[in-house]
Amino acid sequence: MKVAVVSRQLSNLIFNKGILEDLKNDVKKLQNQRQKVLENLTWESDEFKTKSGWSNKVDEVLGQWNEFLAYYEGKGTCTNFLCRYKVGKQSRKFQPVISQLLEKGDSHLSAKPAKDYEGPKSRDDTIQDVMEALKNPLIQAVGVWGLGGIGTTSIAQHIEGKAKEQNLFTAVVVLTVTEKPNVEQVQKVIADELGVHFNEENLVKRRNKLRQRIKKEQNTLIIVVDTWGELNPQEFDLEEFGVPLGNEHEGCKLLLTSANLNFIQNLKVDPKPIVFQLEVLQEEEAQILFEKMVGGVAQDPEAKSIVIEIVRSCKGSISLIYAVAKALENKGLDALIQLKENVSPTNLLSHCLENVELKLFLLLVIIRGRRFINRYNIYIDMWAGLFKNLETAEAARNKRDSLISDLKAYGLLVEREKEWIKIDDYIWHTAYSIAQHYLKASMISREWPPEELLQDFSFCNIHLVTGLMVPDRLQCPNLQYLSIRRDNSSIDVPDSFFEETKLLKVLDFVSFNCPKLPVSFVFLKDLEALSMYRCNLRDITKVGELTNLRMLGLLESNIQQLPAQIGQLQKLLFLDLRKTHLNVIPPNVLSNLTSLEELYLTKSFCNWEIEMSTNENKNASLKELTNLKHLAYIEDLYVPDPHAWPEDLCFENLRSYTIFIGDRWDQANDGDHELKTLKLKLNRTFQSEDGIKKMLKNVEVLHLDTLNGVQNVLNDMECEGFPHLQSLFIQNNAEVKCLATGSGNDPLDAFPNLESLSLNMLSNLEHICHGGALTEKYFFKLKVIKVEKCNNMGCLFSKSMIDGLPHLADLEVSQCKSIKVIVLIEGEKNPCMEFPELCSLTLQGLPALMSFCLSEGSSSTDTSPLFHEKVSCPNLETMVISKVSKLRTIWADWWYDVGNSFCKLKNVNITDCEKLTNVFPVCLSENLDNLKMLERQFEEKWFATVGKAPNDRTERETMKKYLEEYLNM
């Protein structure tokens, strides 16, 4: 046997676990990539078929991967060498396939979309009409209205593109809104689009700042996209957001797109918008669209009559045309002929969804209602018995996400911020008709259907409104799924209500007052998912008898104590106690939930007993969690007393978590739920056997507050260099002096994956790192650095450290009283320094700052510029300088010899620098072509002087004229 073959086979045996973990990461990337490609996939795209084919191949490979993982999961670590070998060998087979798909996916995501819009002619006509109206100086507001599913959002996107392409406006701002707007969030979107920076202003000052900024533009287009068509015009105040309309700024124009005509016509704007109605597609253009998507088979003479009938049946709905055409894509004439007998909308929609699971999933979503639906609710519904192989909580979630992506690819739903989805009205009505027959489903609100129909229902959504009498028994013996909510607090569910619903698998109970659960709850022995949302609960002992439960959610319900009987739920996979303000979990309840995989505790139970307490325990201890061998995820576990943490608890096998240890942590979790996040505030020192210390080796996001005995983070915490850490936040600490130190020629090698670093209120911090050269891995991936209120630092970096930060993109230093220089240069005076990826620079409240870069041993003078002539920031776009009291000039005013430096600068905000006299030297003017905004407090003395050359005055006037014309100052 050849040496290479032996080597490969040995590597399959030895490194099987590492290979498998790498593949898992690649598969996760591929799943995310697939979702992004499908999000950007539209029927207008020339690459529609190519991307769809890639997506289908990804689905095929992911299916094979899931089968492989289900069979081999856990066998890669067993002592059976043959089994371990097979795991490694099979894993290697997947590697090249997945790598090729990832590479192709990258090319799809990086490809630039086609500029030409080749949509139906009626859409072209509407776009042309809107463009002409926007060019008309007498028209300030334009509205585009059309029923859901016929393309108003797409029209807005194309008008935005044309407005930018034709340079009709100096600024274009797009506000995509889905529900009652949050003023602060909308103002932030506008500010981001225009490059406006807020400090700590209130909403009124923000509004005024935005209005003044927009008025600086000669003309601005504000596009408001009402995605769901459900905005209330009385709750959408553009003036409150900071948009100057009417006589205040006639150059500011407004485009509104919505499926809600009331919103456009009654929005508080003056003058009122001119409205264009977006009609459903004309039959001829609907046919052209359909034929383009289906391909050559639609041109077959035998197909012509069928195509005409199909298009006519779609009634101009782009969503349905898109879905049917996608289902027929790359299929032959036989597939078209199959539709010949019945081309009703319901039959067409059913035909689109040949995949039974996809069809069932769409109908399940339909039953949830017509408004936008949260993914959490859909997760609950996944346990209704319609889907196979949901053995784990993660499998249910992955199945849900995959099916949502598939429905998006068919154009049957839209998504908002990954948490909400919605189906347009036409598709909803069509699909609901299917659900009524196919799933025996019904939505009940104002009156009960006849009893003979109730007997037949399998899926039911009941909205108990005032005047609707609640029967003693719900006569639905075949019911598998029930979502029930009420409008009136006086409406209650009778004790015997569930006696005839013994087959129920999912129960979603919303906004009920239940001091005791209905007695008939005990009949729900087959129940697998129970959600009690925003209910007033007291005694839920009966839940303990529902031993087939796999999902239990008490989100935002008022409950003080979990009963001990909950420990009987040994099949439970998912427990959601968020925002319940729970005070008591009896001992041994959690430890008995031996199948539990996911535990959610945001603003919930935190009264963990200290393990060695001599008192009789009244509450659960964290030690109980060590018994949960299947636990994979914990959200917002809060432990106010660090002494309650067991020495051997380190959660090595958790996929991800968010854990807060120490008193008074803000439990608002703004992190990534896919990461391992730990927040520490300890009033004791680390011990070598400490479980908390062991967790630090694998943590990905780390927040550190008070820590006794930690002066050097890397050395004193002994965490093997934090190999997996991506974000580090240190605050409110009087002991920490540095993050790491080297000794002599020993290189510093740590934080190889750190991308974000935040240091706040560290009163004794002297250095970020000190002594020893940096290796290539040390801080190599660092992109964001924020330093605030660290008053003992004289400088932020040494030059050797800066050389090791090639990816630094965002640097913010504020309220540091002693910092004299950002980069202290060893040896050579004023060497060339490049910050190749720096995009944003903020320097605020630095009274001692003299220069950005300064050579060691040299002294800065009062006239030294912030940037010496060899500093280059070729990608810097935003620069904020405020309250830097010693600063006299930003750039050297005699010469600047770094080509293309600061050439991408767009936004400059300089305030409260009382000694500042010069900002832009004349020699820098050629680099300012991208400058869009200059906020300043001074006028005449800000334009650069150029020394004593004869043409000084001329050059000064040239620079002033340039800025006045370019920025409309």
Kind and range of the H or E run holding 40: none
Q: Is the peptide bond before 181 cis (omega within 30 degrees of 0)?
A: no
Query: How do 420-422 and 414-416 pair as beta strands?
Result: antiparallel
Residue 285 to residue 301: CA distance in whole angstroms: 19
**What amino acid is encoded at 611 in this protein?**
E
Higher pLDDT, 873 or 331: 873
The pLDDT confidence band at residue 756, using thresholds 50, 70 and 90, is: very high
Residue 910 to residue 923: CA distance in whole angstroms: 20
Local confidence band at 44 (pLDDT 50, 70, 90 cut-offs): very low
pLDDT, one tens digit per residue, over 428-454 is 888 898 999 889 999 998 888 888 888
What is the distance between the alpha carbons of residues 553 and 786, in angstroms, rounded to a whole number? 38
Residue 99 to residue 217: CA distance in whole angstroms: 47
Averaged pLDDT, 809-834:
85
β-strand pairing of 481-486 with 459-464 = parallel
**How far is 646 from 340, CA to CA, in rounded Å?**
69
pLDDT of residue 49: 56
| pLDDT over 80 at 775, yes or no | no
pLDDT of residue 966: 44
Task: Give the separation between CA 471 and CA 501, rounded to whole angstroms.
Answer: 13
- Residue 744 pLDDT more than 60? no
Answer yes or no: is pLDDT of 79 > 60: no
Distance from CA of residue 522 to its chain's centroid? 40
DSSP sequence for 325-343: HHHHTT--HHHHHTTSS--
pLDDT reported for residue 762 = 94
pLDDT tens, 650-700? 898 899 999 999 887 776 555 556 889 999 988 767 665 578 888 888 899
3-state secondary structure of 603: coil
Confidence of residue 801 (pLDDT cuts 50, 70, 90): confident
What pLDDT shows up at residue 62? 80
Among 320-334, 472-486, 721-735, the minimum mean pLDDT is found in: 320-334
Distance from chain centroid for Cα 158: 25
- Cβ atoms of 431 and 421 closer than 8 Å: no
CB neighbours of residue 119 within 10 Å: 22
Neighbours of 468 (CB within 10 A): 17
Give me the helix-helix angle, 425-438 and 318-328, nearest 10°: 60
Alpha-carbon gap, residue 584 to 143, rounded angstroms: 55
Predicted confidence at residue 715, as pLDDT, reads 83
CA distance 62 to 97: 11
* Mean pLDDT, the chain, integer: 80
Confidence of residue 532 (pLDDT cuts 50, 70, 90): very high
Based on the number of CB atoms within 10 Å of its own CB, is 362 exposed (0-12), middle (13-18) or buried (19 or more)? Answer: buried
**Region of poorest pLDDT, from 203-207, 519-523, 823-827:** 823-827
- In this structure, are residues 435 and 441 in contact, taking their beta carbons and an 8 Å threshold? yes
Decide: helix, strand or coil at residue 134. helix
Query: Which segment, 155-169, 533-547, 859-873, is predicted with the most confidence on average?
Result: 533-547
Range 550-561 average pLDDT: 95
For the cut 60, the answer to whether the pLDDT of residue 31 exceeds it is yes
pLDDT at 939: 44
Residues 454, 445: Cα–Cα separation, whole Å: 14
Three-class DSSP category at 561? strand
**Which among 2, 31, 21 has a CA at the least distance from the CA of 87?**
21
Q: pLDDT, tens digit, for every residue of 924-962?
A: 666 676 676 666 654 444 444 433 343 455 555 555 554
H/E segment holding residue 761: strand 756-762
């970096």: which residue's tokens? 797
Contacts for 111-120 with beta carbons within 8 Å, 24 or more apart? 111/47, 113/40, 113/45, 114/44, 114/45, 114/46, 115/161, 115/165, 117/44, 117/158, 117/161, 118/44, 119/44, 119/151, 119/154, 119/158, 119/289, 120/281, 120/282, 120/285, 120/286, 120/288, 120/289
Place of tokens 């990832």: 102
| Cross-strand pairs, 174 | 223
**Cβ pair 410, 327 in contact under 8 A:** yes
Query: Tokens 């950005």 — which residue?
Result: 852
Question: What average pLDDT does range 232-260 have in this prediction?
Answer: 85
What whole-number distance in Å separates Cα of residue 260 and Cα of residue 257? 9
Q: Which of 682-686, 787-791, 881-885 has the lowest mean pLDDT?
A: 682-686
Judge contact between 696 and 719, C-beta under 8 A: yes
Composition of the chain by helix, strand, coil, percent to 5:
35, 20, 45
Interval 58-63 mean pLDDT:
78
Report residue 187 as tokens.
């103002």
- The token duo for 467 is 């005047």
- Determine the pLDDT at residue 10: 35
Helices (H) and strands (E) in the chain, counts: 24, 37
Mean pLDDT of 48-71: 72
Q: How confident is the model at residue 558 (pLDDT cuts 50, 70, 90)?
A: very high
Copy the structure tokens of residue 207: 């509004």
Note the pLDDT of residue 416: 67
Indicate if the pLDDT at residue 632 is higher than 60.
yes
Strands 373-374 and 420-422: antiparallel
Q: Which two tokens stand for residue 332?
A: 């032959």
891 DSSP 8-state letter: B
At 89, the pLDDT band (50, 70, 90 cuts) reads low
CB 827 within 8 A of CB 800: no
* Partner residues linked to 843 by β-bridges: 813, 881
| DSSP calls for 620-679 | -BGGGGGG-TT--EEEEEEES-GGGS-TT---TT-SEEEEEESTT------S-TTSEEEE
User: Which one, of 679, 716, 676, 717, lies nearest residue 698 by Cα?
Assistant: 676
Q: How many whole angstroms separate alpha carbon 19 and alpha carbon 15?
A: 6
Q: Residue 185's pLDDT is what? A: 86
Beta bridge partners of 910: 881
Residue that the structure tokens 């930690």 belong to: 710
Q: Which tokens is 815 given?
A: 């309220």
- What mean pLDDT comes out for the span 902-924? 79
Residue type, 689: E
pLDDT digits (tens, 9 = 90+) for 387-420: 988 899 999 999 999 899 888 878 788 776 678 8
Ramachandran bin of 70, using left for φ above 0, alpha for ψ from -120 to 50, beta for the remaining angles: alpha
Question: How far apart, in whole angstroms, are the C-alpha atoms of residue 880 and residue 805?
Answer: 21
Given a cut of 60, is residue 575 above it in pLDDT? yes
- Tell me the mean pLDDT in the region 380-384: 94
pLDDT for the residue 935: 65
Q: Are 260 and 159 in contact (CB under 8 A)?
A: no
pLDDT at site 406: 86
Residue 1 clears pLDDT 70, i.e. is over it: no
Query: Is residue 46's pLDDT more than 80?
Result: no
Name the residue among 73, 87, 81 with its Cα closest to residue 16.
87
What span, in angstroms and rounded, lies between the C-alpha atoms of 920 and 956? Answer: 10
**CA-to-CA distance for 798 and 828, rounded, in angstroms?**
13
In sign, the C-alpha dihedral spanning 22, 25, 29, 31 is: positive
449 membership: H or E segment, kind and range: none
Percent with pLDDT over 70 in the chain: 80
For residue 902, the model assigns a pLDDT of 79
Confidence of residue 113 (pLDDT cuts 50, 70, 90): very low
Number of neighbouring beta carbons within 10 Å of residue 97: 14
